[in-house]
Structure 1
Amino acid sequence: MNSTNQGGEASASPTLETVAAVAGVSRATVSRVVNGGSRVSPEARAAVEAAIAELGYSPNRAARSLVTRRTGSVALVVSEAEARVFSDPMLAGITRAIGQALADTDLQLVLMMVPPGPGRQRLTNYLLGGHVDGVMLMSLHGDDPLVKELSDSPLPVVLMGRPMSPLPIPHVDSDSVAGARQATEHLRGLGRTRIATIAGPTDMCAGVDRLLGYREALDGPGLVAYGDFSMASGEAAMAELLRREPDLDGVFAASDLMAAGALRALRAAGKRVPEDVAVVGYDDLDVAELTEPPLTTVHQPLPAMARAMVASLLAQISGDPAPESVVLPNPLVVRASA
């Protein structure tokens, strides 16, 4: 705890010199302990740590960053508008999971929501300007030039979802092709023969991969309408599919929100779920249990994905080679809609 002077006023915060005096070591030894240096004996390290605890010493982050060349912050960049990030439970869920995965570290999370457009260059300048120790990117659209610029820099980077074009950046993903294939095969196993899909955006790897898995399960192009992973787009796509194929009897939607929108359109058209049309979603968000009927869906392991992203970034920040990319399995969760 801080000492007091004779007038009863609190003295200045303890410094490296104060800690060194109490521990009986040099200032340089205290600095090495505080900054994670390895050239310290176990006895000296123990003495310094005891002195730090006794004095309540807290290193000045700004001064420490001058020594370590680290900021103590990592950025999570979401390539969507702010309104979309906080209204989409998938984006909000992975953001929360990443924050929880960082809770046991001394790193601060900087959340940056920047849709494609003019602000991208300012974002790039900020990230490459030494303001963060590493970057996590998610919800990328197309061949975002930001990814290429980061891949050419020494800044540690990890992506959520594979990039649209091959780049030497590790990514963490769930197996969207296998998940979509499993969802479609489940509908076929129920005896459904006219199975449509509400696919995601074609400029996102999740949209591309889930459409591919659906088509692999059908061994053909199938019946496709497109959405943007939102509930409104799922409702509109379902109405379009019913106009094109009134007798369809199964639907795989590439997100739970689009599946929830599809349920609304089916209800409006007088279709019963699952009696007339069986519906399968993707993500296994909370909304999947709240729809009527509850959604059969492909489970996305968001906490495990978040932990893998943080582990990859921490390894790179520590100076280790970039880890291999991680692709996690995603089981089907069967509920009443299919």
Structure 2
Amino acid sequence: MARVTSSDPNGQVQGPGPGQAPTLDEVARLAGVSRATASRAINGGNRVSATAQAAVDAAVESLGYSPNPAARSLVTRRTDSIGLVVPEPDERVFTDPFFVHTLRSVNRVLSVRDLQLVLLLARPGDEERRMLRYLRRRHIDGVLVVSHHRSDRLADHLAALALPCAFVGRPIESADKVAYVDTDNVAGGRIAAELLVQRGCTRIGTIAGPTDMAAGTDRLEGWRAALSDAGLPDDAVAYGDFTEAGGEAAARELLASYPDLDGIAVASDLMAAGALRVLAAAGKRVPEDVAVTGYDDLGVSDRTHPTLTTVRNPIGEMAEQATRLLLEQIEGERDGRPIRVIFPPSLVRRESA
């Protein structure tokens, strides 16, 4: 129940009046400190002694005081909210396990700090302009960016705004301007192709990711490097969009152009799931006729038939690390120089290769 206190004629603090919320002045009076000290203690403890902090904490608990968010924001210049920018269609965000894992991991870090996550879907055009206006007005304390494309130019926009930010995945352009966390996608692409070479495949194709995303270009680069080292041709390439439908279309294209393929390295598990359906429809046995590898290991690969050998993309750890980097910027624990953290990929062996 909301309460206020007052002093009786003898100077003792009395109980709350009915239906009234306690105020900051009453917290200060009960704690025996100034109003300014009480405010600092409630809003972060800057320049407050341990004794005063303990007294204010006890007064807050005793009175059931809850700070006014607007007043608190004026003191701290904080909104206690973090934006997650995803420049993708909303139907993909809520169906792709990549985004589910990202959201869950970011929120795991924020929840223990009592911070709010604000999801910002911003495709190029009006949505992006509206999102940038929102960021420019400082409605949030900082922003995380995931699944970004070359045309988004989000690294440039956020650097110009001087808004604390961190990217999950390396921006394909202007990566030197922002903090980011990524996995070594070149090494991951190489690992997948090398497995197929070691298996004895001699005609190896790939379903690459979008060319406007760093993950797409880097995984393709690793695949090409492995085939070059093995002295094998690297011309069997089709491109998808990291969706099952995109994987199906790319697999049909590959089989039509290269019917002798005996191995396919696919740049995402969702695309690989689509490719497996196309191979089955074409009468190709996996892995007997065509060995297949995916990329991500976010829950799709152990539900396909056959189960999918894949390269693990540690998106949960990446998203958590990016969130921590962002919070360090907001708290002033970083000197402003962009930080890069790179996680190693690893191979997960299942039935498809």
Same fold, TM-score > 0.5, yes or no: yes
Q: Report if aligned partners of 1:143, 1:163 keep a CA contact under 8 Å in 2.
A: no
Question: 1:189 corresponds to which residue?
Answer: 198
Aligned residues: 337
- Is residue 2:222 matched to residue 1:213? yes
TM-score w.r.t. structure 1 length?
A: 0.95
Report the residue type matching 2:222 in the other structure.
Answer: G
Conserved 8 A contact 1:142-1:164: yes
Aligned to 1:324: 339
Tell me which amino acid in the other structure corresponds to 2:213.
M
Q: Which of residues 166, 178, 182 in structure 1 aligns to 2:187?
A: 178
TM-score, length-normalised on structure 2? 0.91
1:314 alignment partner in structure 2: 327
- What is the rounded CA distance, in whole Å, between the counterparts of 1:168 and 1:137 in structure 2? 14
**How far, CA to CA, are the matches of 2:305 and 2:125 in structure 1?**
38
- 2-structure distance, mates of 1:270, 1:290: 20
Distance 1:168 1:235 in 2: 36
Choose 271-280 or 214-223, whichever is displaced more: 214-223
| Structure 1 equivalent of residue 9 of structure 2 | none
Aligned residue among 87, 93, 105 for 1:85: 93
Structure 1 CA distance, aligned partners of 2:153 and 2:317? Answer: 28
CA distance in 1, matches of 2:71, 2:181: 34
- Residue 211 of structure 2: aligned partner: 202
* Cα-to-partner distance string for 1:288-336 (whole Å, 9 max, x where unaligned): 1000011001111122111111111101101232451111111110001
How many Å apart are 1:132 and its aligned residue? 0.7
For 1:4 and 1:27, locate their aligned partners in 2 and report how far apart those are by CA, in whole Å: 16
1:165 to 173, 185, 192: 173
Report if aligned partners of 2:121, 2:127 keep a CA contact under 8 Å in 1: no
**1:1-338 to 2 correspondences below 5 Å:** 2-3=2-3, 10-166=18-174, 167-219=176-228, 221-319=234-332, 320-322=334-336, 324-338=339-353
For 1:153 and 1:244, locate their aligned partners in 2 and report how far apart those are by CA, in whole Å: 47
The question of whether the paired residues in 1 share the 8 Å contact of 2:227 and 2:234 is answered with yes
SS in 1 for 2:181: strand
- Structure 2 unaligned spans of 5+: 6-13
* Contact kept? 1:76, 1:135, Cα under 8 Å: yes
The 2-side partners of 1:4 and 1:130 are apart by 34
Distance 1:212 1:13 in 2: 62
Shift of 1:173: 0.7
What letter corresponds to residue 308 of structure 1 in structure 2?
Answer: Q
C-alpha distance in 1 between matches for 2:69 and 2:86: 27
Moved more, 107-116 or 319-328: 319-328
**Alpha-carbon offset, residue 143 of structure 1:** 4.2
1:329 is matched by which residue type in structure 2? P
Deviation larger for 91-100 or 287-296: 91-100
What letter is aligned with 2:112?
D
| Range moving further from structure 2, 60-69 or 139-148 | 139-148
One-letter code of the match for 2:218? Answer: D
Distance 2:47 2:187 in 1: 49
Output the CA distance in 2 between the equivalents of 1:10 and 1:321.
49
Same amino acid, percent of matched pairs: 54
